[in-house]
Structure 1
Amino acid sequence: MYSSVDTLWVLLGAVLVFFMQAGFAMVETGFTRAKNAGNIIMKNLMDFCLGSAVFWILGFGLMFGVGAEGQTNPFVGFVDFFVQREYGSSFPTPAFLIFQTVFCATAATIVSGAMAERTKFISYCLYSVVISALVYPISGHWIWGGGWLSSLGFHDFAGSTAVHMVGGVAAFWGAKRIGVRIGKYDENGKARAIPGHSLTLGALGVFILWFCWFGFNGGSTVSLTGDDTIVSAASIFVTTNLAAAFAAIATMLYTWIRYKKPDVSMTLNGALAGLVGITAGCDAVTPMGAAAIGLICGVMVVISVEFFEKVARIDDPVGAISVHGICGALGTLLVGLFAQEGGLFYGGGFSLLGIQSLGVASVVLWVSVTMSLLFLLIEKTVGLRVSRAEEVAGLDLEEHGIISSYADFMPAVPSVLGSVSASAEQAIPVVHVPPQKTPSRQAPMTKIVIVSRQSKFNELKHALNEIGVMGLTVTQVMGCGMQKGNKEYYRGVPVSMTLLPKMQVETVVSKVPVRAVIEAAKKALYTGHIGDGKIFVYTVDNVIKVRTGEEGYDALQDEIISE
């Protein structure tokens, strides 16, 4: 007889863990460059879709499969193609299947960020199939499927090792095999910062993941009937939240001391590090223990990111190796210290800590052997990395034919002059006339280009309208001038150049004095800080108005057309 409460609890957990895919997609997209955003999203979509298929066909059986008479194997589950046997207890088998499927997809998607911006899409799909069908299920069987680690008393409640460390170790071998992104290191081997294009997306992803982690950890009770399980689930919510909060605080303070400014992207990673670290022991530690685990992981993630980037020279754009691999292992080991039952700090001796260490080491060895061989095989066959030209152009264009994931995402600037419609037959015939010097009786024609902060555009437009400049061409651009002063850091690495969003306003004047335009622009844009903008002045030989065929001074004169 199934329990409706337990079934709903497991399904709710599955839904929340499924939504973690959106969180990972946002974090990875935000921490990488815009030219690869579509590729990141496609990989996150496909590793879930491919993983769902192969885990149902093969992986679930290797992880949880039992023999015809209910017997188990300590190293690998019995093959059960398409999940034909019954595995439920207080909930039906399909509920258990979908719950475990989304956990498998979480492990698979971790690698996407570490290998971002340079991996062939077909190669990533092959990796996703193998880790979901074979690598994750076999080590998962050792821990959760009645395997040898489970029989020893290895404690990994919701997957610091089974899910996150597996993904983190795979990410390490993938990033190591594929190599660093173009321009990541200078000729002296010093790391260069390659900032992601949207911290806003990254933050959104972190909050989505934090929200979903309550289902990831809390749902792993797979029951919500009886006082014990109700109290356990509530306690897990508390320990999960505290670990993430204290980890983010620790990262913020540590980077503030180390870089003289609190690092935003690193602090976002810190929150995730705390979530990963508490996942193994969220049911076994006190709130105080959870806070301690969060503090340790929050500092460790910064040290780890710097080590892999500056010492090991492993290019991991999103910090997946450090967040999931290092903090997954660390969180599992800390269970041996902070667990209320068996933890060293609670009088349990070194027994649990030794078992936790053995479990971490064995899973690291298993994933390292299989994934290093897999990435080597892929590299030697279909190839692992895109060409240099493809990487420079961006994987959105080269792998998926997308010019930009943000097509038409430009601010609409209302026309000052309004608009009219006319048929093509009304167009003035085009006749080539050699440019003539502006007659002395007419004012010279001058093109003025103004580059300004986006926030100052409306003030600039109003100031130009006030002096009679009615025709503007406005473009959103990216650029930087000479940047002096304090160094800018991204994830602890100095940024050599930052392209900032600017507004470029162009106008050609003849009747309005050039000096009046310049003074109006300066008055509207001036703040006294670096980045106020620049004004460029050019001489114009000739102007032709398409609608009337007028040239020179006359082409610049017009009446405002009422709508």
Structure 2
Amino acid sequence: MFSSVDTMWVLVAAALVFFMQAGFAMVETGFTRAKNAGNIIMKNLMDFAIGTPAFWLIGFGLMFAGTGPFIGGFDPMIRGDYSSTIPTAAFVIFQTVFAATAATIVSGAMAERTKFISYCIYSLVISAVIYPISGHWIWGGGWLSQLGFHDFAGSTAVHMVGGVAALVGAKILGPRIGKYSKSGKARAIPGHSLPLGALGVFILWFCWFGFNGGSTVSMTGDDSIVAASSIFVTTNLSAACATVTTMIITWIRYKKPDVSMTLNGSLAGLVAVTAGCDVVTPLGSAIIGIIAAFVVVFGIEFIDKVLKIDDPVGAIGVHGLCGATGTILTGLFAVDGGLFYGGGFAMLGVQVLGVVAVIAWVAITMTIVFQVIKRTVGLRVDESEEIAGLDIEEHGITSSYADFMPTAFVSSSTSPAPAALPVSDSVAVPVVDISSPEAKITKAVILTRQSKFEALRTALDQIGITGITVTQVLGYGMQKGSTEYYRGNPIETTLLPKVKVEIVVCKVPIALLVKTVKEALYTGNVGDGKIFIYDVENVIKIRTGEEGYEALQDET
């Protein structure tokens, strides 16, 4: 007899854990450059698509088809009975989505320079063999389980496995071009979309309630209901405390609260509490989250600046370091058996042993896997391919944002004008006599802040300029842009978003145009912009063949 409540709970949780793939995809895409966005999405998709049949054919059996100390057994296509209060199929899909999570962690650490075919091979191997064997030790009745090792939802079994694999892969792969100077100083390579990264973190936080809460695999009876409810509280509290602590740490260290590192802090708290979310108190989970914040900030800095390992998204620090930390802290904060609750050092010792054993297993096996791939099909793309971007070189797409151009600075001509206009409606606009020999055609190019475009457009309307060309551009002046920091590394040159407005005039005096633009854009601060003036030899309207002033009729 199956429990309908338990089965529904496990299936809903499995769906939530599957949706974590979307969260990881958004985090990794946002924290890397736009020229590699399609490649990131493709790798996250294939992690699940390749991992599912690999786990079905080989991995599940290695993990659950037996109670041997080191390996489960072989059950190709899962024909055995693994049911409890839930059907075998429900248990299988729940374990499948966990396996895919471990595999996808590596994608971010190896982003922007890994061959797609090589990544697919890695994904197949970790889902079929490496994750299932260490998973058997912990969840399949293996030797760590027999010793009493406690990892409720996978701080070690899932996240640390992925984090260690990421460390090995990123080390063998080497840093991205331009990541380190000749002296070895780390350079910031900012991701292209913090909003995408934030969306991914929110998705992951939401799905983590299924990741941790669903690991009860039961909602029958008061004990199960209380346990699941408590897990929700400890999971959320750890993440929140880690987020706040990370924000404070970065605020002090970098003089400003770092957005991307704080987002990593949220994930650090979630990863760390995953091992002991069922056995720690809310206070214990809060402390675990606070400790995780310190681990992720200083861990990412250590990996980046000392070890010189290039991890674009911080996956090694978040999943590897915080996964190990959270598992060990369970030996301190577990209410039943933890050192701080009178349990002595026994549980703590087993937790440390389990972490060390799994690190050794994954590090050795993944080193072999990546070295074999490197010496056969190759692990890293060519330098020219990396510079051009993996989207075009690996997938044949020129841009993951084709035909998309942000237009936040553009407004319709019917939008309300600013309260204070540079030029009054009552002012008569002088004009140049176009029949005069002194009359000439002039082009003005204006570079300024996006936020000032509306005021500029309105001022130009007031003096009769209705024909303009507007382009969104990136650039900097002699100041090299403003000083910014990304994950604690200074961004040496900041390409700031600007608008370039091009105007060609003849009848409207150029002096009036310049005066109007200056009044509209002036704030007295660096970045007000520049005006470039050019002589125009001729203007030809293609449709009518008109030349000179006659081709500029939109001006009046």
Of 426, 433, 440, 1:444 maps to: 440
Q: Structure 1 CA distance, aligned partners of 2:146 and 2:363?
A: 23
Letter matched to residue 358 of structure 2: V
Please state if 1:13 is matched with 2:13.
yes
Residue among 213, 220, 223 paired with 1:225: 220
Corresponding position of 1:284: 279
Matched, 1:547 2:543: yes
**For 1:523 and 1:228, how far apart are their aligned partners in 2?**
71
Which residues in structure 2 correspond to 1:464-503 (within 5 Å)?
Answer: 464-483=460-479, 487-503=483-499
Consecutive unaligned residues in structure 1, runs of 5 or more: 67-71, 418-437
Q: Distance in 1 between matches of 2:371 and 2:538?
A: 62
One-letter amino acid of the structure 2 residue matched with residue 234 of structure 1:
S
Mapped partners of 2:89, 2:479: distance in 1: 59
Once residues 412 and 303 of structure 2 are traced to their aligned partners in structure 1, the CA distance between those partners, rounded to angstroms, is 53
Q: Does 1:259 align with 2:254?
A: yes
Question: What is the Cα deviation at residue 411 of structure 1?
Answer: 4.5
Q: Secondary structure at the match of 2:62?
A: helix
1:510 is aligned to 2:493: no
Displacement, 1:543?
1.3
Structure 1 stretch displaced more, 133-142 or 546-555: 546-555
For 2:186 and 2:353, locate their aligned partners in 1 and report how far apart those are by CA, in whole Å: 35
Kindly state the Cα deviation for residue 483 of structure 1 after the two structures are TM-superposed: 3.1
2:135 — aligned with what?
Answer: 140
* Residue type at the aligned position of 1:253: I
Deviation of the 1:229 alpha carbon: 0.8
Counterpart for residue 96 of structure 1: 91
Q: Which residue of structure 2 aligns with residue 459 of structure 1?
A: 455
Instruction: Say yes or no: does 1:394 pair with 2:389.
Output: yes
1:28 and 1:113 in contact (8 A); partners too: yes
Partner of 1:74: 69
2:471 maps to a residue whose letter is T
What corresponds to 2:318 in structure 1? 323
Partner residue of 2:203 out of 184, 208, 213: 208
**Separation (CA, whole Å) in 2 of partners of 1:288 and 1:305:** 26
Post-superposition offset of 1:131: 0.3
Q: State whether structure 2 residue 327 is matched by structure 1 residue 339.
A: no
Give the aligned partner of residue 417 of structure 2: none
Identity, in percent, stands at 71
**1:533 alignment partner, one of 511, 529, 532:** 529
CA 1:414–1:157 in structure 2 vs 1: closer, same or farther (change >3 Å)? closer
Which 5+ residue runs of structure 2 have no aligned equivalent?
414-433
- Report deviation, 1:261: 1.1
SS at match of 2:464: coil
Deviation at 1:501, TM superposition (A): 2.0
Equivalent position of 1:519 in the other structure: 515
For the residues of structure 2 that align with 1:158 and 1:284, how far apart are their CA atoms?
A: 12
The answer on whether the counterparts of 1:416 and 1:470 sit within 8 Å (CA) in structure 2 is no
SS of residue paired to 2:107: helix
Query: How far is the alpha carbon of 1:416 from its aligned partner?
Result: 9.2
Residue type at the aligned position of 2:115: K
Q: Distance in 1 between matches of 2:410 and 2:323?
A: 52
SS class of match (2:21): helix
Q: 1:468-507 CA distances to partner (integer Å, 9 max, x unpaired)?
A: 1121111111222233797311100011012222211111
Mapped to 1, the partners of 2:101 and 2:527 lie a distance apart of 42
CA distance in 2, matches of 1:351, 1:414: 65
Q: Does 1:28 align with 2:45?
A: no
Aligned-residue offset at 1:559: 7.8
Say which is worse superposed, 465-474 or 296-305, in terms of deviation: 465-474
The residue number in structure 2 matching 1:190 is 185
Alignment of structure 1 residues 55-66 onto 2, 5 Å = 55-66=55-66
Distance in 1 of aligned mates of 2:494 and 2:291: 32
For residues 184 and 444 of structure 1, the distance between their equivalents in structure 2, rounded to whole angstroms, comes to 50
Q: Give yes or no for contact 1:180–1:315 (8 Å, CA) kept in 2.
A: yes
* 1:43 to 2:43 alignment: yes
Q: Hey, what does 1:123 align to over in structure 2?
A: 118
Partner Cα separation in structure 1 for residue 412 and residue 353 of structure 2: 72
Distance 1:55 1:416 in 2: 55
Paired residue secondary structure (1:450): strand
Matched, 1:235 2:234: no
Report Cα offsets for 1:83-123 as digits up to 9, x if no partner. Answer: 00110100001100110000001000000000001011001
CA distance in 2, matches of 1:485, 1:117: 25
CA contact (8 A) 1:184 1:191 kept: yes
Deviation string 1:306-362 (CA, Å, 9 cap, x unpaired) is 001110000000000000000000000000100001111011111001000100000
| Secondary structure class of the residue paired with 2:472 | strand
CA distance in 2 between counterparts of 1:345 and 1:256 reads 31
Most deviating of 492-501 and 44-53: 492-501
> Do residues 268 (structure 1) and 263 (structure 2) align?
yes
* Equivalent-residue separation in structure 2 for 1:198 and 1:482 (angstroms): 26
CA distance in 2, matches of 1:414, 1:162: 50
Contact residue 52 and residue 100 of structure 2 kept, 8 A: yes
SS of aligned partner of 1:557: helix
Give the counterpart letter for 1:550 in structure 2.
E
Q: Distance in 2 between matches of 1:484 and 1:530?
A: 11
Q: 1:474 to 1:352 in 2, by over 3 A?
A: same
1:384 maps onto 2:384 in alignment: no
Deviations 1:59-82 (A, max 9, x none): 11111113xxxxx21111110000
Q: Report the alpha carbon displacement of residue 528 of structure 1 after superposing the two structures with TM.
A: 2.6
Q: Is the Cα contact below 8 Å between 1:127 and 1:374 reproduced in 2?
A: yes
User: Which residue of structure 2 lines up, in the alignment, with residue 421 of structure 1?
Assistant: none
Return the alpha-carbon distance in structure 2 between the equivalents of residues 401 and 11 of structure 1: 37
The AA in structure 1 aligned to 2:166 is A
Letter in 1 for 2:509: P
Q: What residue in structure 2 maps to residue 431 of structure 1?
A: none
Could you give the per-residue CA deviations for residues 393-431 of structure 1, whole angstroms, max 9, x where no partner exists?
A: 1111111111111112125698999xxxxxxxxxxxxxx
Which among 79, 91, 108 is matched to residue 113 of structure 1?
Answer: 108
1:167-178 correspondence to structure 2 within 5 Å = 167-178=162-173
Residue 429 of structure 1 corresponds to none
Which whole-Å CA distance do the structure 2 matches of 1:233 and 1:375 have between them? 39
Q: Is the 8 A contact 1:416 1:471 kept in 2?
A: no
SS at match of 1:250: helix
SS of the residue 2:379 aligns to: coil
- The correspondence for 2:370, drawn from 371, 375, 390, is 375
